[in-house]
Amino acid sequence: MTFLNSGRLAYQGLFLVLLASSVLLQGCLDQVNGSEDTARAEEKLSVPVEAATVASGDMAAFYSGTATLEADEQAIVVSQITGVVLQIHAEEGDFVEAGQILAKVETDRYALEVERANAGLKRLKTDFQRKKELFQKKLVSAEDFERVSAEYDAQKAAYDLARLDLEYTSIRAPISGYVSERMARAGNLVKLHQPVFRVTSYDPLLAVLHVPERELRVLRKGLQVSMSLDAWPGEVFQGEVIRISPVVDPGTGTFRVTAEITDRKQMLKPGLFGRVEILHDLHKDVPVIPRSAVITEDELSHVFVISDEGSAIRRAIQLGYEREGMIEVAEGLSKGETVVTAGKASLSDGTRVEVVGQDLNPGA
């Protein structure tokens, strides 16, 4: 009886040992599986994002507007006599120098007027010389001498006027430039002060902008200007601001800014329409990032910076100048840091991220 009880107790002890070992082994297995599940869950929590590296570059501030090119010098050439046009010496598009003959008007009548005035002048000159000698000898009165002297002076002026009218039969260019319009033909009768030609100087050409008054504090003479035109795609013409009106138009709230455009290849013409940019400030070697990296809320800006551990850290920044999709960071970032550009909506401060696309030089 004692032997049976001892066997039963031994069997029960062995069962308890095996049961405890099984429980301990299952616990270890559960701990290992739990660690793997946790690591797998952490991997699933990483949010895929696109990122860019903070670069260093120059950022400029521009005023942009539109303008029509105007000629600085333009002259309407008028006839200074009445007569029939005999010859045309310049056509539209021709370049003419100041003083060059553009057209000839009939000269016969004016040449005869010169001959008649000259004949009268010679007669009065002889009379004047004779009266002068007699007056010096006190053989004529002072009254007679003064009358002859006045007649001689009047005839001399008439002769000069006749010569001037004859000279005016040659219609000349008052300035150097291109004939932009011809208003008369050979055989036409032109009257005194009737427009005959228009001469336009293309050097220089001016771009006149009407700029909002808020830009008055940043624009000044001498600033660099660039202009692009649809007529010459791909070409950029340079210039500078030469005049700024000190008066603001109360009706439009704008003021006039005049820029001189350089055209060494003579490609530009008055009347062409284009887009003008005036460079008024330049920040050199500053941090720049893509505009898409910036989140603006309540007029405050921030970005998500990716830490070395792979977490997205929310950081406030101060912005500067912006151009062509890039923006200057005045405060808050340093060159070489990495910011999130796409996938920001899924992030919160401290979220683990996985970079699936990165622009290492966004400013290039």
What pLDDT was estimated at residue 171? 96
| Average pLDDT along the chain | 85
The number of residues in the chain equals 364
Position 264, amino acid: R
Is the pLDDT reported for residue 102 higher than 60? Answer: yes
Please give the Cα distance from 222 to 240 (Å, whole number). 6
Every domain of the chain and the residues it spans = 47-59+283-359, 63-69+201-282, 80-197
Q: 47-59+283-359 maps to which CATH number? A: 2.40.420.20
Residues 286-325 have pLDDT tens digits of 999 999 999 998 889 999 999 988 899 999 999 999 888 8
CATH number of 80-197: 1.10.287.470
Task: Give the per-residue pLDDT at 110.
Answer: 93
CB 53 within 8 Å of CB 361: yes
Residue located via tokens 């009407």: 210
CA 128/CA 279 separation, integer angstroms: 72
Query: How many whole angstroms separate alpha carbon 322 and alpha carbon 217?
Result: 19
Question: What is the CATH number that goes with domain 63-69+201-282?
Answer: 2.40.30.170
- Strands (DSSP E) contained in the chain are 47-53, 55-78, 83-88, 95-96, 101-105, 170-172, 177-182, 189-190, 195-212, 224-229, 236-244, 254-261, 273-290, 295-297, 300-306, 311-323, 326-331, 338-342, 351-359
DSSP 112-135: HHHHHHHHHHHHHHHHHHHHHHHH
Which pair of tokens denotes residue 29?
A: 């297995």
| The pLDDT of residue 362 | 59
pLDDT at 38 over 80: no
| Cβ–Cβ under 8 Å, residues 218 and 281 | yes
Choice among 39-53, 72-86, 131-145, 213-227 with the minimum mean pLDDT: 39-53
Mean pLDDT (whole number) for 101-123: 92
